[in-house]
Amino acid sequence: QLFMVFLVSLSYLVCWSPAGDDLMIQDACNVIPTMGDIAAWLSDPSILGMLIWTGLITTAFTIYMETLALKTLSAAETTLIFSTEPLFGAAFAAVVANECLSEGGYIGSALIIGGCVISGIDWSQHFGRHGDIQD
């Protein structure tokens, strides 16, 4: 999981991050940092501190703690948490950044909540062993 985070972050750095003030974002993919650029970045204490913070604390440590916490939950509880993660992200963005959901966001939220409700229903109470409806 950490390796995939690294690969996605590296591809963002190379292809989509602005390379300089005079370059457009789409031109950044044509500018690959040289080893000298990378050495200069790594020798800057503030950049090195940001790399350590985002790499070790906000990524590796949180994934490790999440793994420890999820060991105590059942599969159904874990699925519920991961299924509703986009809802918590949207709610956080609405509160902190004053973001608004589009119609598609509301539809997706309703589908996620509906799926969680349906998956939580004990269907054996409503249907018999072979799918017969119980009275």
pLDDT band at residue 112 using 50, 70 and 90 as cut-offs: very high
Region 4-25: mean pLDDT is 66
- Please classify residue 70 by burial: count the beta carbons closer than 10 Å to its beta carbon, then call 0-12 exposed, 13-18 middle and 19+ buried: middle
pTM, entire model: 0.53
> pLDDT-based confidence at 111, cuts 50/70/90?
very high
Q: What whole-number distance in Å separates Cα of residue 47 and Cα of residue 38?
A: 11
Cβ-proximal residues to 51 (8 Å cutoff; 6+ apart), any chain: 42
- 116-134 pLDDT per residue, tens: 888 888 777 777 665 555 5
